Amino acid sequence: MVTRMNPRVIKRRRRAARTPQRIAGITLLEVLTVITIAAVLMALGVPSYQYVTNANRISGEVNDLLGDMQYARSEAIKEGATVSVCVAASTSTPTNPACAVGSTAWQNGWIVFSDVNGDGVFNGQDVVLRAKSAFPLGDTFNANNAMSAVTFNREGFALGLNNTVTVTLHAAVPVSQTTRCLQITLIGQLTTETAGVLGCS
């Protein structure tokens, strides 16, 4: 038995076969809109990200020096002997430590050592307690008053300082918002400051 299809159904199927099917997707205009929005967000976000990373890095670097200065002071008090922190010379190595006498470039690294004669210079009788390598990204860390070393005595006082010394840390590209300072007083007090506070600039 042969069944006949309804003529209306046949016409509907033929019409559907002739009508092109619409394929879902995105247009060029939509792609360009998304790219434009992404570019604007990147332009706004990248400077903020750079500021945050620079500020965090510099805070970490100044805190490294602060921590080692505090360690040197506490060791001097605990051991009842002088302990110094000096700028490391460019030739300084873990096996052959050396101070850069007269240098204020603390970004080159520093050495914490028991200073037998209290002269702020590492020699054969002294013992290295800690050492910090040079900063890798071109940040500068300079002290006023030509301070290349700090020596703490058994009472925790900083010897040989004429006044409060400020060690200022700038990013490779100086920005006042990321500048940090470490201040050292005659009595051995150590504080960190941001730019614009207590002579930090």
Q: How confident is the model at residue 70 (pLDDT cuts 50, 70, 90)?
A: very high
pLDDT tens digits, one per residue of 131-169: 999 987 788 888 887 889 999 999 999 998 878 888 888
∠ CA 152-153-156, nearest 5°, is: 70
- Per-residue pLDDT for 193 more than 70? yes
Eight-state DSSP code of residue 196: T
Q: How confident is the model at residue 111 (pLDDT cuts 50, 70, 90)?
A: very high
Query: Which pair of structure tokens corresponds to residue 175?
Result: 């920005």
- 141, 105 Cβ separation under 8 angstroms: yes
Structural domains of the chain, ranges and CATH numbers in brackets = 27-194 (3.55.40.10)
Candidate from 45-49, 66-70, 128-132, 174-178 with smallest mean pLDDT: 45-49
Mean pLDDT across the stretch 35-46? 75
- Per-residue pLDDT for 73 more than 90? yes
DSSP one-letter string for 22-68: PPP---HHHHHHHHHHHHHHHHHHHHHHHHHHHHHHHHHHHHHHHHH
pLDDT tens digits, one per residue of 169-184: 888 877 777 888 999 9
The answer to whether the pTM exceeds 0.85 is no
Average model confidence (pLDDT) for the chain? Answer: 84
Map tokens 């590492």 to a residue.
122
